[in-house]
Structure 1
Amino acid sequence: MKIKKLQASCSLAIVVCCMIFGSALYAVVPKSEKNVLLSLYHSTGGENWNNTWDLNADISTWHGVTIKKGHVVEINLFRNNLVGSLPEEIGGLKHLVHLNLAFNVIGGEIPKSIAELKKLEVLQLEMNRLEGEIPSELGNLQALVKLTAFNNFLSGRIPESLGNMQKLKELNLSSNNLTGRIPNSLGELSQLESLGLFENKLYGAIPGELGKLGQLKELVLANNELGGEIPKEFGQLASLQILQIQNNNIFSFDNMGQLNSGQFLVFDYDKVEEKKENKYRDFDVIRTRMADTKFEDEIEE
C-alpha cells in the first residue's frame, strides 16, 4: 500500500514538473504584444510571406519570432516577401532588442513609434521601398548599435538627432535620396566603426567633426555632391581602413598627407580628375585599390 502511495506521489510530482516546464517553454505573451505581431502580419501581407505564421499556433512557433521571459525580443523576417507598410503599432513591442526586416518589399514611411523601442539594439531596414524622411525621433534609441536602411527611397535631410545614439557602431544610409549637409552631430558617435552615406544627394563640405571618430574603420561618402577639401581633422582617424570619396566635387586632398598611408586597405577617389587637372596632392597609398568602382555593401543574412 505504501509503495502504491509512493508511486502515486512520484507520478504527481512528474506531472507538476512537466506543467512547470511546459509553461516556461510556452510562456504566455501579453495580448498587447500579440496584437502588434498581428498588425505586422496583416499590414505586410502575412498570408503571402515565404514563411508565414499559423495564427492558431503558439507564438513561439512563428517564423522569425523569439520569445524570452514571456516577451517578444526579436523579429527576423529577412527576405520573407513582406509587402505593404509597417504599422504604427510596432512601437508597442517594448522588450524588442533585434528587428530585421531587410530584403523585402516594404513601402511607406518609417513609423515614428519605432523610437519607443528603448531596448532596441539592431534595426535593419535595408533593401526595401521605404520613403519619406528619417524620423528625428530615432535619435532617442539610446541602446541602438546598428542602423541600416540602405537601398530605399528615403528623402530629406539626415536628422541631427542621430548623433545622440552614443552606442551606435554601424550607420548605413547609402543609396537613398537624402539631401542636405552631413550633420556635424555624427562626430559625436564615439563608438562608430562604419559610416555609409554612398549615393545620395548630399552637398557641402565634409564636417571636420568626423575626425573625432577614433573607432571609425570604414567611411563611404562616394557618389554625392560633396565639395571643399578633405578636413585636416581626418589626420586623427587612426583606425580608418576604408575611405571612398570618389564622384564628388572635392577639390583638395592636401590634408590626407597627415594620415598613415599604410593603414588603408581601400582608398577610392577621382583619379581621372587628378590626371586631368593635376589638382590633387600625390598621396602614396600602400595595398590600396584606386578604382572608380561602385561601393558594394556586404550583406549578412
Structure 2
Amino acid sequence: MKKLVYFLMLTIMAGNQVFAQVPNKEKKALIEFYDATNGKDWVQIWNLDEPVSTWYGVTVANGHVSQINLFRNNLVGFVPESIGRLEQLEILNLAFNSISGELPKDLVKLKDLKVMRLEMNRLKGSLPEALGKMEKLEELVMFNNLLTGSIPESIGNLVNLRVLNLSSNLLKGIIPGSLGNLVHLQSLGLFENNLEGAIPTEVGNLTALRELVLANNQLEGDIPTEFGQLASLRILQIQNNKFNSFKSLQSMDEARFTVFDYDKKDDKQNFKDVNFSRTRMADTKFEDDNDE
C-alpha cells in the first residue's frame, strides 16, 4: 500500500512538473528577451534556473506562455525577433519602460494576441504593414513613442479592436478609411501626430465609439456629416487642426458630452491649457489597473 501511495505521489509530482514546463523554443525566446532588455537590472528579475511559470509577469497556460506583463519594470533595450516564437501569447504588456529600437517584424506572428500595450517607451520606426494579421487584437496601445510612417491600411482587419491609441508619436499621412471596419471600437486616440487630409467619412460606422481624440494634427477639410451617427460618443477632441468648417457639429447635442473640444470661432480653446496629461485617454484609463 505504501509503495502504491509513493508511486501515485511521484506520478502527480511528475505531472505537475511537465505541466509547468513550456516548449524549449518558448523558453529560449523569453531568455533572449530578458537579455535584450537588460534583465539583470529589472525591478523584478527572473531566476532563470527556476521554472518559467515562476518568472515575474509570465503566465503559463496549457503548457505555453500566454501572458507577459512587465509594466514599469525598468526594461531597457529592444524587443528581439524571437518574440514571434511565443505563438500562443494573448497579452503583451511592456508599458512604461525604456524600450527602444524598432518593432520586430515577427511581432505579427502573434496571431492569438488580444492585448498589446507598448505605451510610454522609446520605440521608433513604422508600424508593420502586416499588422492586420493580428486579427484577435482587442487593445492596441502605443502612445508616447517615436513611431513614424503612416497608419497601415491593414489596420482595418483588426475587427475585434475595442481600444486603439497611437497618440503622441510622429505618424504622418492620412487616417485610413479602413478604420471604419472597426465597428467594436470604443476608444480611438490619434492625438498629437502629423496626420493630414480629411477625416474619412467611414468614421461614422464606429457607432460603439465613446472616445475620439484627434487633436493636434494637420487634419483639414470639413467635419464629416457622418459624425451625427456616433450616438455613443462622450469625449470628442479635434482642436488644433486645420478644418474648414465645423458645421456638422451643430447637430450634435453638446450636453451629452463629458468633453467636447474644437476650435470654436467665438471661443477658441488652447489645447495645451486643458487640464490633463498629453496622453489623457489611455494613461489615466490603464495605469491604475496595472500599477499595483
**Is the TM-score greater than 0.5?**
yes
Q: Residue 286 of structure 1 corresponds to which residue in structure 2?
A: none
Q: Among 83, 95, 99, which residue is 1:90 paired with? A: 83
* C-alpha separation in 2, matches of 1:210 and 1:110: 27
Query: TM-score when scaled to structure 1?
Result: 0.88
* Structure 1 residue 274 corresponds to structure 2 residue 271: no
SS at match of 2:159: coil
* C-alpha separation in 1, matches of 2:76 and 2:211: 32
Q: Residue 221 of structure 1 corresponds to which residue in structure 2?
A: 214
Identity %: 52
Q: Among 8, 13, 20, which residue is 1:13 paired with? A: 8
* C-alpha separation in 1, matches of 2:144 and 2:100: 12
- The alpha-carbon deviation at position 18 of structure 1 amounts to 4.0
SS at match of 2:66: strand
SS at match of 2:250: helix
Segments of structure 1 that go 5 or more residues without pairing to the other structure are: 1-5, 277-289
SS at match of 1:177: coil
Q: Among 173, 185, 194, which residue is 1:201 paired with? A: 194
* Structure 1 residue 265 corresponds to structure 2 residue 258: yes
Q: Residue 72 of structure 1 corresponds to which residue in structure 2?
A: 65
- The alpha-carbon deviation at position 60 of structure 1 amounts to 1.0
Query: Which one has a bigger Cα radius of gyration?
Result: 1
Q: Among 200, 204, 208, which residue is 1:211 paired with? A: 204
Deviating above 2 A after TM superposition, structure 1's stretches of 4 or more consecutive aligned residues are 6-20, 257-263, 273-276
Query: TM-score when scaled to structure 2?
Result: 0.91
Question: Letter of the aligned partner of 1:60 in structure 2?
Answer: S
Q: What whole-Å deviation, never above 9, does each CA across 1:44-71 have from its counterpart, x for those lacking one?
A: 1111111111111111111110001110
* Structure 1 residue 31 corresponds to structure 2 residue 24: yes
Q: For residues 92 and 19 of structure 1, do their structure 2 counterparts lie closer, same or farther at Cα, with a shift above 3 Å needed?
A: closer
* C-alpha separation in 1, matches of 2:117 and 2:54: 22
* Equivalent runs, 1:87-126 vs 2, <5 Å: 87-126=80-119
Question: Letter of the aligned partner of 1:13 in structure 2?
Answer: L
- The alpha-carbon deviation at position 13 of structure 1 amounts to 3.3
- The alpha-carbon deviation at position 257 of structure 1 amounts to 2.4
* Structure 1 residue 251 corresponds to structure 2 residue 251: no
**Cα RMSD (Å):** 1.8
- The alpha-carbon deviation at position 106 of structure 1 amounts to 0.5
* C-alpha separation in 1, matches of 2:3 and 2:105: 57
- The alpha-carbon deviation at position 11 of structure 1 amounts to 4.2
Q: Give yes or no for contact 1:269–1:291 (8 Å, CA) kept in 2.
A: no
Q: For residues 226 and 74 of structure 1, do their structure 2 counterparts lie closer, same or farther at Cα, with a shift above 3 Å needed?
A: same
- State how many pairs are aligned: 280
Segments of structure 2 that go 5 or more residues without pairing to the other structure are: none
Q: Residue 134 of structure 2 corresponds to which residue in structure 1?
A: 141
- The alpha-carbon deviation at position 15 of structure 1 amounts to 4.1
* C-alpha separation in 2, matches of 1:130 and 1:60: 28
Q: What whole-Å deviation, never above 9, does each CA across 1:94-117 have from its counterpart, x for those lacking one?
A: 000000010111111111211111
Q: Give yes or no for contact 2:237–2:262 (8 Å, CA) kept in 1.
A: yes
